[in-house]
Amino acid sequence: MNQPWTELHAPPALPELFLRAALKRKVSGRTLPEGGLRCPVSVEARHLAAYRRVCAFADDGRLPPTYPHVMAFALQMRLLTADDFPFPLLGLVHLENRIRVLRPLGGLGPFRVGVRVADLQPHAKGALFSLLISLDDQLGPLWEGESRFLSRAAKLPGEPCEAEPRAALALAEVDRWRAPADIGRAYARVAGDYNPIHLSALSARLFGFPRAIAHGLWLEARSLAALGDRLPDAGYEVQVRFKKPLLLPGELTLLASAPGASGQLALRGADDLPHMDGEWSTLP
């Protein structure tokens, strides 16, 4: 069955959507909406430059592989705060992220971005679902993303699916850097994601964290910027799993396997605390 899409003329304004997210506190159902949202988007050069600075991407003439998440953020906020989306947005936990760069991410647009949700499953701590993002240009599909979220507020019947263990490769240090105390605010200014857990110790404490924590997508973006020479221009996939949250400020060490068509990565903090791991591979 074809996916039903609602077409918008432009990305929605964020202030009203932040208010809707703050007001919804209860689960309102156990099924995901079937429809998705799509709209045209273009890249503003100054915003792209600011994103590159915050995430340490070089200006190589292509969009950073994580940048489409920013392009889709307003649309996904509209989808996740709609009346037919069953879970409160505040409190969702970002567990995994997968991106597929199908063709070189060149140019500033115009593009078309689409977002939808799918694959609702039981989890030992609540309910899992996928947020799916697509980016197209005039020639067709350009980039795809999937984020897996956990809603602790929801419970579903059934047994959770267990992930298959992965054979570990030998990893060596690639880079290390310090995440400053204000990186959550700096990333929020370019990504639009003003979740209180990332902004300050005061706002993070309202959600049980002793200090602000780094955005998971910033951890991924900063890591892929450091791995740029290991990744091709296009035709590859990266999948990461977010582990322990990084309390800000914090020290980070990126480890990776040897360059090749496929490989693994790990992001560690103080005392070897795992913050993220994952793998990359070329597409068939």
Residue with token string 């503003």: 44
What's the average model confidence in pLDDT over 70-88?
96
- Find the length of the chain: 284
Give the strand pairing for 36-41 and 5-7: parallel
Specify the pLDDT at position 238: 98
Specify the pLDDT at position 109: 84
What's the average model confidence in pLDDT over 242-247?
97
* Residue 148 neighbours by CB distance under 10 Å: 20
What's the average model confidence in pLDDT over 243-271?
96
What's the average model confidence in pLDDT over 138-155?
95
**Mean predicted lDDT score pLDDT of the chain:** 94
Give the strand pairing for 126-137 and 172-179: unpaired
Q: Is the peptide bond between 245 and the residue preceding it cis, with omega within 30 degrees of 0?
A: no
Inform me whether the pLDDT recorded for 107 exceeds 90: no
Q: Rounded to an integer, what distance in angstroms lies between the CA atom of residue 214 and that of residue 203?
A: 13
What pTM does this model have? 0.94
Inform me whether the pLDDT recorded for 1 exceeds 50: no
Inform me whether the pLDDT recorded for 19 exceeds 80: yes
pLDDT digits (tens, 9 = 90+) for 161-195: 777 777 889 999 999 999 999 999 999 999 999 99
Q: What is the CA radius of gyration of the chain?
A: 18
What's the average model confidence in pLDDT over 78-83?
96
Within 13 Å, how many C-alpha atoms sit on residue 25's CB side?
2
Specify the pLDDT at position 2: 62
Provide the token pair at 94.
């970002």
Specify the pLDDT at position 166: 79
Inform me whether the pLDDT recorded for 3 exceeds 80: no
Domains along the chain with CATH numbers: 1-163 (3.10.129.10), 165-284 (3.10.129.10)
Assign 3-class secondary structure to the chain: CCCCEEECCCCCCHHHHHHHHHHCCCCCCCCCCCCEEEEEECCCHHHHHHHHHHHCCCCCCECCCCHHHHHCHHHHHHHHCCCCCCCCCCCCEEEEEEEEECCCCECCCCEEEEEEEEEEEEECCEEEEEEEEEEEECCEEEEEEEEEEEECCCCCCCCCCCCCCCCCCCCEEEEEEEECCCHHHHHHHHHCCCCHHHCCHHHHHCCCCCCCECCHHHHHHHHHHHCHHHCCCCCEEEEEEECCCCECCEEEEEEECCCCCEEEEEEECHHHCEEEEEEEEECC
* Contact in structure between 220 and 246 (CB atoms under 8 Å): no
Specify the pLDDT at position 77: 97
Inform me whether the pLDDT recorded for 264 exceeds 50: yes
* Contact in structure between 250 and 222 (CB atoms under 8 Å): no
* Residue 60 neighbours by CB distance under 10 Å: 11
